[in-house]
A and B are shown apart, each in its own frame.
Chain A
Amino acid sequence: MAKYVFKRVIYMILTLFLIASFTFSLMKMLPGSPISTSSKLTPNQLAAVEAKYGLDKPLPVQYGIYMKNMVKLDFGTSFQFKEASVTELIINRAGPSFILGIQALILGTIGGIILGMIAALRQNTAWDYGSTLIAIFGISIPSFVFASLLQYWIGVKGGFLPVGLWENGWKSSILPTIALAMGPLATSARFIRTEMIEVLGTDYITLAKAKGASGIEIAFKHAFRNALIPLITVMGPLAAGLVTGSLVVEQIFAIPGIGEQFVKAINVSDYSVIMGTTMFFSVLLILVIFIVDILYGIVDPRIRLAGGNKQ
C-alpha cells in the first residue's frame, strides 16, 4: 500500500508539472496581455511595467522563474488587484466554493443513487419513469439554465431563499448547490439504474435468491455494492464537471468564490491568477482521482491495491 501511494504521488507531481507547463505555454500563445487590455500607457511606461513583472525577459527565463516560484506555492501577484498575492486571493475565496462543491457532490451522488435505486427496483413503474424524467432534465439542461431558473422562480418570485451573494449563511448556498448538483445527480441516477438492472440479472443474484435472501437483502447486501463500482469510476469526471459548473453558477449567483474570481481574471487576462487557479483546480482534481482510486479498491476486492492481502 505504501509503495502504491508513493508511486501515485510521484505520478501526481509529474502530472502537475505537465499541466503547469502546458498552461504556461497556452497563456503565452493567447493574444493580449494584462497591460495592453487594461490601460492606455505610453510605450515607455509599458516597458517599465513589463520589466517590473518580468514580462520583458525571454520566455524560457519566464518559465524557469514561474516554475521555481510555484514549487514554493508562490504564484506571483495579481495584475488587477495591485500587489495581492495569488495564493492569498485563492485562499480567501476558497470557502464558499468548497462548501458549494462538497454539498453539490453529496447531494448529487447520494440523491442520484437513491433515485437510480428506486428506478431499478421499481422498473417500468411511475417511479421509474419519474426518475428517468428527472435524469433526462439533469443531463440535457446545462447548470446555468437551472441556476437562472432557480434564481428567478425561487429567489425572485418565491422570495424565500436569497437570490444571490454569500451574506445569509447556509441559506445562500442552497440554490447554487441545487443548480450545481443537477448534473451529477442525473448522471449517477442513470448509472446506478443501468448497473442495478444488470447486476440483478446476474447468476450470483439468482444464487442469493436460491439461498433464501429477501428482496431487500438482494438489493442492498448483494447488488448495491456491485452496482456502485462503475459509478465510482465516473466520480473523477463528475468532480471535474462540478469545477467547471461552479465557474458559471458562482457567476450567476454572484458568489465570492474561486470560480467567480477565475472568470473575472480571464476577462482581464490576469495571468498569474489564471495560472494559480488552474494549478489549484488541477491539484484538486488529481487528489479527487487519487481518492476515487483508493475507494475503488475498497469497494472492489478484485483490484485491492498491491501489498494488500495477497494469496
Chain B
Amino acid sequence: MSYHGGEFDVIVVGAGHAGVEAGLASARMGADTLMLTLNLDAVAFMPCNPSVGGPAKGIVVREIDALGGEMARNIDKTHIQMRMLNTGKGPAVRALRAQADKFTYQQEMKETIEDTENLILRQGMVEDLIVENGAVRGVITQTGAKYYAETVVITTGTYLRGKVILGELSYESGPNNMQPSVNLSYRLQEMGFEMERFKTGTPPRVNGNSIDYSKTEKQPGDDVARAFSFETTEYITDQLPCWLTYTNEETHSLINDNLQRSPMYSGMVEGTGPRYCPSIEDKIVRFHDKPRHQIFLEPEGRSTKEVYVQGLSTSLPEDVQHRILKSVPGLENVRMMRPGYAIEYDAIVPTQLWPSLETKKISGLFTAGQINGTSGYEEAAGQGIMAGINAALAAQNRDPLILDRSEAYIGVLIDDLVTKGTNEPYRLLTSRAEYRLLLRHDNADFRLLEKGYQAGLISNDRYERFKNKEKEIDAEVQRLRKAVIKPDETVNQVMADAGTAQMKEALAADVILKRPEISYEHIAQLTPPPKTLAPEVAEQVEITVKYEGYIAKQMEQVDKLKNMENKKIPENLDYMQINGIAYEARQKLSEVRPLSVAQASRVSGVNPSDISVLLVYLEQGNLQRTSEPETETPASN
C-alpha cells in the first residue's frame, strides 16, 4: 500500500508559522521543496490570539523580513490595526504589533505559497521518517506515500500527541479540534529523541454583536501608517479598534468556587505551562491580592463577528466559562462561540539540536517551531526561516547560517534553546537579549539583509536599494560630525522651540543632536542636508548619533566576547576526561556539545571556573599540536 511519491531536495512537514517560512525560504533558495500539512485550510493558522508582533517578537518579524521571509509582508497585507509600542522609551525597545485578520492572513499566505516556484504544497500526515545510516532520507505519510529528500524539516507545532483539556473533559486532538499527530511522536521517541510534555491554553471566543462596548475602553490603532516589512509601500488605513475591560471580585469568586473542577488543580494535567501565559485561574491563585485583571477584546477579522477575549485563557469547564464571561463589564449578555481550552503536547528537548537546528542524532533532519519547546507565532517563524535556509544549504552542500546573539533576536532564541534548553514553553522577551541596543527594530536590515542576500533570498534589486540607504546614512553622519553650528539668534530660536538650553559656543551638529530634546529635524533646520533624507534614513542618522556612546559600549562587549565565540571546541571533545571541570558541568557539556567556548559558558550549570579549566585544556591541546613536527612543506612558487 506504499508508493513512491517523488524526490525533492527539502521536505517540510507542517504548514504552521514555522513551516511556511521554512518552505518558502528553501524554495526561494532554489531547492526543490515539498511542504506537507494535515489540513490545507489551516495554513499559517493562528490557534490563539489574532496578533503578530509586540516587544521582541515584533523585532523578530522584521528580522525575518530582512532575511527574505514572509511574515512581515503577509501581516502588512492582512492586519486590522497596527501600533508602535514603547514610543515613550528608547529606540531599542520600540516594536510594532498588529492585530491580524486571521482568516485573510491564512488565505494570503496560502496563495503566496501556491505561487512560489520550486514549492509544492500538499495535504498529508507524515507518520514516519526514512533514515539510513544516521541520515534522514525522506518521510512516509499515512496514505503510504514515500517522499525522498536530502533534508527534512519537522514543524509540527502543538500537534504531537496533542490532548485537549476542558474542565473534566479531555480528548486526543490538535489545536482547535484538528487531528493530532500521534504516530510521528512515537517514531521520534523510538529513534532516541528525548521529548518533554508542555501545555498551553487559549481563552473563549465570543460574538461581537453581543458585547456592550460602551462599558469598555476603546483601544485604537496608530494614526500613522505603519508596516513591518522594509519593502511595504502600500498601507492599510482602515483600522478596527480593540477594547479594554476588567475582571472583578465576582469573576474572581466564581473562579475560586470552581477551582476544584479546573484540570490544573485536579491534577489531570501533566504538561508544563508557560509562566507568561497563565490561565485566569492561575492568575487568581498566584496573585490573589490583585483586585482586577485586564481583559482585551480583539476582533478576529473583518469578515467575522468572533472576538478573542485576551486575558481569560482558561481550561475551566464550559458551564463555568459562560458564567465567568458574563461577570465582566460589557459582557453581561455575551454569547460564547467557542470555549477556551488547554492543550498538552510533546516537544523535543532542544539541546538535542545544533545551532543550525539540525538534530545531532540524525543528520539532515531539522526541527523548528513549537516542536522545539517554544511558543508563539514569531518564535516559530524565526526558527522556521533558519531551519529552511539551513536545510536548503545542507542539501546544496553549503555551510550552515548561524546567527549569533549580537546579530539577531532569532540568534538569541536559537542559542538559548540549543544551549540551555527550556523547562517551559519558551517565549522571547527583550530581557533575554544582552545586546538589546544593537538588536533594534529599525536596524534589522543592517544586521541581516546581507546574510539573506548571500543565502539567495534577497533580490539584487532590493540589495542595491539597501546599499544605497547605507551610503546615505553614512554620508549624513559624517557630514554632521563636521558641520559646525555657531550660536546666533535663529539657532537659539530653534533651541528654545525644542525646549533645550541656549548654545553659548559653536558646536558640531552631532554634539547638538545628542541633546535629549533635539531631533534630527531640528538639526536639518540648523544645517540642511544637500538632499532631504527619507524618513528611515533620518531615523538611522538620529539613532546612530544620539546613542553612539551606548552603542559603542555594547559593541565593545560584543568584541570582548568575540574572542570566546571564536575559540572553537571540537565537536567530539570528551568532556568526561577533563577532571578539572565539575562533574555536573561535564555532563551538561557532553549533552549540549557547544561549538565555541562562549556557547559553553552559557550552558546552565557551567561555572566560570569550569570555563577556565576548559580554556587551559584547549590551550594545552593547542600547544601539543603546535609542538608536533610540521608535516606540510611550505608552499613555494
- A and B interact: no
| Residues of A that sit less than 8 Å from B by CB | none
